[in-house]
Structure 1
Amino acid sequence: MESHMGLPKDRSQFVGQAVKAVESRLGPSASSRSRLLPRRPKAASPEARSFPKWVMFDTEIYVEDPQSFCEDDPETPSARSRDSNGDDVLVSLRLVAPPGASHLRLHYSREEEAKMLNGTALVAAHLDSVLFRVVPPSSPINPFNSWCCYTDYFVCKAGPSGMSIYGPLPPCYKDAQRMAAQGHAQRSHMLDVRDIGLLRRGEDFAVADLKVLMPRDSSSEPKEAELFRYRSNALTPQWEVKRILICQSDDKDHGLRWWTTDKVVSFEGNLCWIDYHRGILFCDVFDDDPQLQYAELPVEPPKGDPTHPEFGRAHPYVTRSLCVIEGGTLMFVNVTRADGEIASKRKLGSGFTITCWSLGTPLSSKSIGWVKEGAMEAGEIWSQYPIFDPHIPCLSPEFPFVSLNEHSIIYALLCEREYAAGRTWVLVIDIKRKKLELVIPYNDVNSSCEDTLVLEDILINWPLLPSMFSMYLNSHASWKTHVLNMAHLAYNASSRHQL
């Protein structure tokens, strides 16, 4: 592959060269593998493996009996590791095509499950990997945060030969104590899953948490943030902290003093921390000296502090989402309610507009450009309900996101959360054709039920986690797509280094 100095100006030319280079390396005579792309595992019975191209993960982790754990079932990917106590961590996945909900399952005995504390969750996903955390049974109290128990983080990687688990990562609080002794403030990193991201690059990965540092003067814009990260390719893999400047392309007041991270995604070789009220803070967490930059979302930010004195901060992820779809395009979707609210109680018949954008410029551009892909008004959607079910309530949908392999398709949930015995449907909308493609009722939430539409996240008012993890378990087409995705990331990273 060409060096950065010989980088082709045309993206397609670069990606084509990358694919040819990797294909030649993957041949039977290849004696080495590119550091840029992961090793190709030996394929396991291709005809026995057929998983969806992408899935919608429920972030709630299900706990099941260890007797149900089976490493030989080709339809149920599984792997094992050990937690920080030395006990077995048995993991399996239940993968179904959207709009069904996929789940990560831990296999513990009922006695062990009773000892587990809140905090176990599916945290993040990028390409062929997912990050999850476990609060081990009988976990000791974390001395760095006395109210929080010791937590183990694991990275689960998919390949044609199955799943593998890396971890647990080194204890966060021990490195935090070490850094505090070196003069860094003791901050509560790696606690809120909304602040944590996973970035894959070749055979390596990085896990990071970001905190915007608030100035003493409450009227001033924050100028710095603190990055807490783990890089698997570091000379001494351990948690480290860096204080970095927030670089902005203008002198505009973006209201960063009210910043709250709602989600973290990986895009163009960066981790992107998103405040759905404001914008995106992003940096290359693999870089020895990362630069944190800011980019706006295509929505008007609220004026002043969006926190209600009585009810707190409205959760904008109920009506907004940002994700990276197949091919490396950043998509943003927003449900604008006619009443001007974001996540408060809805009224029957109150209008809304669903709008979808794609990012048309590099994220690091001085003038960022969002392209409107389409929009639909409430009436255009409600008028199509009778085709599926005339009794569907006319409420504004929630938790919208773009399909990872069809950029004009939007998924959204219609929840009767304000009503006793409320029902839930998933809407599948073609935003460009202004067509309601599908309406499917979700069953009642029951963690012991095997129905493909079980969804715990509805109960806890939490967004789903779209991921292409499942694709990498397939034997053939998945690998070519992986090569393309990684080549696009390499092009983006190389372009930045040339600037």
Structure 2
Amino acid sequence: MAPPSWIILSTAPHVSADALPDGADLSLALATPPRLSHLTVSTRVSSADPDPDARLKSPHVLAADPSGLLLAMTPPPLSESSPPTERVRRGPDGVEHTFTISYIPDPDYAVLDVVSATAHRLPDHDIFNAGCLGVIAAPGAKASGFMVVEFQFIVGGTGASLHCFSSQTGAWVEKDVRNPLPRWIWNFNNVVSHNGKLWWVDTAAGLLACDPFADNPDMAYVPLPENDDDNRDDGARGCACYYCSERQIATRRRVQLSNATFRCVQITSARKTKDHAHDTAPATVTMRTLADPETAHWTLDYKVPFADIWADHTYKAAGLPEKEPVLAFIHPNNPDVLYFSLDDYLFAVDMRAKKLIECEAHESGVSSSSLLAWELPPALTAPAAGVPENGSNDESATAASA
């Protein structure tokens, strides 16, 4: 059977010393959605004996590129760092307090090429925030050409910087860029490689985008669709500051590529209306499409009450409770299909038809941060007949180099 065109990748790879083909740094066990696909990396990529003092205890996939590249953060191996030292501090009451100072090792980073099953470890660098990191394939380069980029900024500064590692030079360089929102505290939910640019997605403020391969990258800013008061739930209205209010709303929003176009999906919880204190506005899901990145023009696609989905026989047949789920991701090829998590279930809904079309139980539970909807590169999607779209009869396949 042919593998699926896209997968739901668990962002927590397994680490194995012997469960891989000879010479391979990694393997990918493919499963048709809504089942999860799992990545296994060798101990050359992620240590089997990580440093117990490290904050990161297991590897994690941060970002992806359509060419088949994954950027992973891995726990550092056990090091011979200086032993903890004890310090004594005398408090205002004259009592001495002893505390311990120890070295906390930084995580390591690697770019995983799923097509060739090889890994490229990055040299040490002062990375401030792993959430600001993205990976992008080099334009017109060989399959192994790539760049890893971190956006670094200081709140209040009009300038920022890109810290770029190129596989072609093997070195980190710094490039100056403008900071479109100097007073904003950027907090990126994901970093997307699309159309030769990296896009930093902050679901509270908007998107930043540039070509990191340019000598002088021009940082563009695309604001998100405006929210009127009717879209603010009671929790967001109760926040004391604008920033906190926007962050509250951002927890119910997802910005993602679907059918090669950015989509913005937002869940609005049931709430009392402004004009009628005793009336309740229903919980709804709204999708908008970025029709023109140059003008930041978003168009409304649909607005669907959850009650309409709950009332359909397909939802009732699944036995799921009628309560607001968590938005997991958008189908990467069909923006009409959204995936939600609820309790230990991951399910898909055709929003225009208002019908549940897929549902899968996961014993360990699922969350949006542990899943990555990823379109596979052509090298991993050789065409063949007989694979059902819903994957009900599909068996997992393994992608790795021999």
TM-score per shorter chain, which class?
0.7 to 0.9
Q: C-alpha deviations, 1:351-402, integer Å up to 9, x for none?
A: 42111222211x2x1x221122222101111112665447422221213322
AA matched with 2:40: R
AA matched with 1:298: P
CA 1:61–1:339 in 2, change beyond 3 Å: closer, same or farther? farther
AA matched with 1:57: L
CA 1:475–1:307 in 2, change beyond 3 Å: closer, same or farther? same
Q: C-alpha deviations, 1:455-489, integer Å up to 9, x for none?
A: 5x53xx72521111365313469xxxxxxxxxxxx
**Whole-angstrom CA distance in 2 between matches of 1:387 and 1:272:** 35
Q: Report if aligned partners of 1:54, 1:471 keep a CA contact under 8 Å in 2.
A: no
AA matched with 2:348: V
Q: What is the Cα deviation at residue 258 of structure 1?
A: 3.1
Alignment of 1:77-92 (within 5 A): 79-80=24-25, 91-92=26-27
Unmatched runs of 5 consecutive residues or more in structure 1: 1-48, 72-77, 81-90, 174-187, 216-221, 248-253, 341-348, 416-423, 446-454, 478-499
**Whole-angstrom CA distance in 2 between matches of 1:289 and 1:141:** 39
CA 1:67–1:390 in 2, change beyond 3 Å: closer, same or farther? closer
* Equivalent position to 1:430, from 350, 353, 356: 350
**Whole-angstrom CA distance in 2 between matches of 1:258 and 1:432:** 36
Alignment of 1:378-389 (within 5 A): 378-384=306-312, 387-389=315-317
**Whole-angstrom CA distance in 2 between matches of 1:172 and 1:409:** 40
CA 1:412–1:239 in 2, change beyond 3 Å: closer, same or farther? same
3-state SS in 2 of match to 1:122 = strand
Equivalent in the alignment of 1:408: 336
Q: What is the Cα deviation at residue 155 of structure 1?
A: 1.9
* Equivalent position to 2:149, from 191, 208, 223: 208
3-state SS in 2 of match to 1:432 = coil
Residue 397 (str. 1) matches residue 329 (str. 2): no
Residue 157 (str. 1) matches residue 157 (str. 2): no
Q: Report if aligned partners of 1:79, 1:92 keep a CA contact under 8 Å in 2.
A: yes
3-state SS in 2 of match to 1:99 = coil
Alignment of 1:21-420 (within 5 A): 50-64=2-16, 66-71=17-22, 79-80=24-25, 91-108=26-43, 112-113=48-49, 115=51, 117=54, 118=56, 120-127=59-66, 128-139=68-79, 148-159=104-115, 163-173=116-126, 188-189=127-128, 191-192=129-130, 194-200=131-137, 201-203=139-141, 204-215=145-156, 222-233=157-168, 236-247=169-180, 256-300=183-227, 304-307=241-244, 314=248, 316=250, 318-326=251-259, 328-339=260-271, 351-361=282-292, 363=293, 365=294, 367-384=295-312, 387-389=315-317, 391-415=319-343
Residue 473 (str. 1) matches residue 380 (str. 2): yes
Q: What is the Cα deviation at residue 211 of structure 1?
A: 2.4
AA matched with 2:13: I
**Whole-angstrom CA distance in 1 between matches of 2:338 and 2:305:** 14
Equivalent in the alignment of 2:90: none
CA 1:414–1:470 in 2, change beyond 3 Å: closer, same or farther? farther
**Whole-angstrom CA distance in 2 between matches of 1:171 and 1:475:** 37
* Equivalent position to 1:444, from 360, 363, 372: 363
* Equivalent position to 2:369, from 435, 458, 462: 462
Q: Report if aligned partners of 2:288, 2:300 keep a CA contact under 8 Å in 1.
A: yes
3-state SS in 2 of match to 1:428 = strand
AA matched with 1:130: L
Q: What is the Cα deviation at residue 296 of structure 1?
A: 0.9
**Whole-angstrom CA distance in 2 between matches of 1:378 and 1:291:** 41
AA matched with 1:208: V
AA matched with 1:171: D
3-state SS in 1 of match to 2:18 = helix
Q: So what's the TM-score if we normalise by structure 2?
A: 0.74
Identical counterparts, % of pairs = 23
**Whole-angstrom CA distance in 2 between matches of 1:111 and 1:244:** 35
Q: Report if aligned partners of 1:338, 1:351 keep a CA contact under 8 Å in 2.
A: yes
Q: What is the Cα deviation at residue 140 of structure 1?
A: 5.9
Q: Report if aligned partners of 2:12, 2:370 keep a CA contact under 8 Å in 1.
A: no
Unmatched runs of 5 consecutive residues or more in structure 2: 83-101, 229-235, 273-279, 385-402
Q: So what's the TM-score if we normalise by structure 1?
A: 0.60
CA 1:442–1:202 in 2, change beyond 3 Å: closer, same or farther? farther
Considering fraction of residues, name the structure with more strand.
Answer: 2
AA matched with 1:197: G
3-state SS in 1 of match to 2:121 = coil
Q: What is the Cα deviation at residue 164 of structure 1?
A: 3.2
Aligned-pair RMSD on alpha carbons? Answer: 3.4
Q: Report if aligned partners of 1:356, 1:431 keep a CA contact under 8 Å in 2.
A: no
Equivalent in the alignment of 1:185: none
Q: Report if aligned partners of 1:129, 1:469 keep a CA contact under 8 Å in 2.
A: no
Q: Report if aligned partners of 2:155, 2:182 keep a CA contact under 8 Å in 1.
A: no
Q: Report if aligned partners of 2:267, 2:283 keep a CA contact under 8 Å in 1.
A: yes
Q: Report if aligned partners of 2:71, 2:109 keep a CA contact under 8 Å in 1.
A: yes
AA matched with 2:215: D
